[in-house]
Amino acid sequence: MLDFPIGELITPEEQVAVARAVAIMASRDDQVSDSERHFVEELMGQMMLLPEERDLVRKEFSAPSDLLRVAKAVRHREARIFLFYQAVCAAMADNKLVDGELDALLELAEAFEFDADTARRFIRWVQDSLELRERGQQILVEM
């Protein structure tokens, strides 16, 4: 998991764009699961978005905007890395990464001028991290 001091690295406008892009990513497979909604809600809470900003983000579930257009509002390198990480987590919130989601992640990486191979390795790293966390939680339940 990446720990970012969000308020110090990302402007309020970028925070809204990050949350919107993550919501768009969650809706990419044309089906928003409860776990994906919950992930986006937690992210909005972490960033302390205002109620009207949260409503704007939630609209992306039913009528998603263009991912790349929204993501281009995120300008700072750290904010882009944070968005990419959150987008991978959102795509994996239902424990599967489908082709449309992977394609969107790779398009996002290209738009941010991330090296394609490095972006693929980053996606795999996040997947592995989430799987390890899940296995650890299961072990704790069994103890």
DSSP 33-75: -HHHHHHHHHHHHHTT--HHHHHHHHHHHHS---HHHHHTT--
pLDDT at residue 94, as a whole number: 75
Domain 6-142 coded CATH 3.10.129.10: no
pTM of the model: 0.84
8-state DSSP, 30: S
Do 80 and 118 form a contact (C-beta atoms < 8 A)?
Answer: no
pLDDT at residue 85, as a whole number: 93
What pLDDT band is residue 98 in, cutting at 50, 70 and 90? confident
- What are the CA-CA distances from residue 69 to residues 24, 72, 74, 137 (Å)? 11, 5, 10, 37
Give the residue extent of every domain in the chain.
Answer: 6-142
- Return the residue matching tokens 């795999």: 124
What pLDDT band is residue 5 in, cutting at 50, 70 and 90? low
